[in-house]
């Protein structure tokens, strides 16, 4: 059972969120719900359900930055960040990592540890709670493991939100403070479990804060609470 965060932890997390908001420039001010993101308390995030019904069929020709359901008996590996200086390429890979899991192959703490390795090592910009909120809780994970549940994902498209591009055009030098980019990714998540080997697919969208300094490969700064078009 996760430890209850202390007031100090909460303040530290709030400072990281504020710095993250500053790093992605005034575009984040335009995002609906940003104020709630920067000041949200420690209330439990919404967790994904064990089984999700299909709302769309997988689209042929989806991005190769994605995965497809593994053959029967083959289990997924933990996600590893790509070595790239392109925020779009990294954003697509990060979205796939965040939408994918395999309760048959590894534990919930192992998945969390793997996803934390995607985060920037600059702790003042790394918003770990926004990543953790996307991972099922330990209790839910146990139920998922009992059902041999796993999810794979595809990233069909990624782009800089229009408001982010406009902000860069207005002040090109501002990005050099932290080199954090807003990247919106759309794709699909496919879920399968015992008794439903084909599972179902649902459309997904996410806006990420991606740090790409010229001197280092890209890394994840955090997950935005709202989708920036």
Residue 29 lies in a domain: yes
Residue 2 lies in a domain: no
CB 209 within 8 A of CB 7: no
20-35 pLDDT, tens digit per residue, is 655 554 444 433 333 3
Per-residue pLDDT at 83 exceeds 70: yes
| pLDDT, mean over the chain | 78
Residue found under tokens 């083959």: 74
The lowest-confidence range among 21-30, 87-96, 148-157 is 21-30
Residue 210 lies in a domain: yes
Residue 100 and residue 98: Cα distance in Å, rounded?
6
Angle between helix 138-146 and 108-116 (nearest 10): 120
Residue 37 lies in a domain: yes
Helix spans in 121-200 (H): 128-132, 138-146, 162-170
Provide the percentage of residues in the chain whose pLDDT is more than 70: 67
Per-residue pLDDT at 44 exceeds 60: no
Provide the percentage of residues in the chain whose pLDDT is more than 90: 62
Angle (CA) 39-172-124 rounded to 5° is: 35
Number of domains present in the structure of the chain: 1
115-148 pLDDT, tens digit per residue, is 999 999 999 999 999 999 999 999 999 999 999 9
Residue 228 lies in a domain: no
Higher pLDDT, 142 or 199: 142
Residue 102 lies in a domain: yes
The lowest-confidence range among 54-58, 193-197, 214-218 is 54-58
**Residue 60: which pLDDT band, with cuts at 50, 70 and 90?**
very low
Per-residue pLDDT at 221 exceeds 70: yes
Token representation of residue 223: 């997950």
Query: Partners of 209 in the beta sheet?
Result: 182, 222
Residue 47 lies in a domain: no
Residue 229 lies in a domain: no
Residues 6 or more apart whose Cβ sits within 8 Å of residue 227: 184, 205, 206, 207
| Domain that includes residue 160, residue range | 7-42+52-223
């Amino acid at each position: 059972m996760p430890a209850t965060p202390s007031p100090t932890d909460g303040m530290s997390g709030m400072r990281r969120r504020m710095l993250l908001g500053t790093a992605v420039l005034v575009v984040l001010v335009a995002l609906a719900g940003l104020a709630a993101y920067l000041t949200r308390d420690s209330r439990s995030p919404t967790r994904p359900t064990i089984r999700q019904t299909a709302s769309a069929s997988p689209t042929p020709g989806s991005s190769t930055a994605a995965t497809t359901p593994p053959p029967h008996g083959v289990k997924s590996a933990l996600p590893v960040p790509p070595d790239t200086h392109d925020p779009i390429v990294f954003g697509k890979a990060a979205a796939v990592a965040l939408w994918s899991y395999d309760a048959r192959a590894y534990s919930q703490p192992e998945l969390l540890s793997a996803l934390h390795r995607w985060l920037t090592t600059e702790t003042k910009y790394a918003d770990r709670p926004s990543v953790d909120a996307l991972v099922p809780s330990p209790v839910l994970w146990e139920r998922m493991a009992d059902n041999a549940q796993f999810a794979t994902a595809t990233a069909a498209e990624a782009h800089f939100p229009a408001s982010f591009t406009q902000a860069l055009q207005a002040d090109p030098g501002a990005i050099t403070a932290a080199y954090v980019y807003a990247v919106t990714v759309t794709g699909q998540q496919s879920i399968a479990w015992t008794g439903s080997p084909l599972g179902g697919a649902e459309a997904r969208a996410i806006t990420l804060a991606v740090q790409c300094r010229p001197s280092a490969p890209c890394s994840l700064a955090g997950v935005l609470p709202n989708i920036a078009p």
